[in-house]
Amino acid sequence: MPNPKRRHSKARRDRRRAHDHLTARSFAECSNCHELRMPHRACPHCGYYKDREVIETAEE
């Protein structure tokens, strides 16, 4: 296995890591209860997905 002969500078290291940051999660609004939920998932608040109930939730 080849080994590096010289140490890489901090600038070179940081340029390589420039795209390694975290991105914020995206949310979509539920069409039934208007709460925020993850896209392409059933709403955890009301249990609806694509205008029909797919998960039974406890009624309060």
In a domain? residue 20:
no
**Domain that includes residue 42, residue range:** 25-60
Dihedral angle of Cα 60, 31, 52, 44, to the nearest 10 degrees: -50
In a domain? residue 3:
no
In a domain? residue 41:
yes
Number of domains, the chain: 1
For a pLDDT cut of 90, what percent of the chain falls above it? 78
Residue 28 has pLDDT above 90, yes or no: yes
Which residues have a Cβ under 8 Å from the Cβ of 39 and sit 6 or more positions away? Answer: 26, 27, 28
Cα–Cα distance measured from residue 49 to residue 33, given in angstroms and rounded to the nearest whole number: 11
Residues in the chain: 60
In a domain? residue 35:
yes
Looking at residue 48, what is its pLDDT? 92
Cα–Cα distance measured from residue 41 to residue 14, given in angstroms and rounded to the nearest whole number: 36
In a domain? residue 18:
no
Residue 40 DSSP label? T
pTM: 0.59
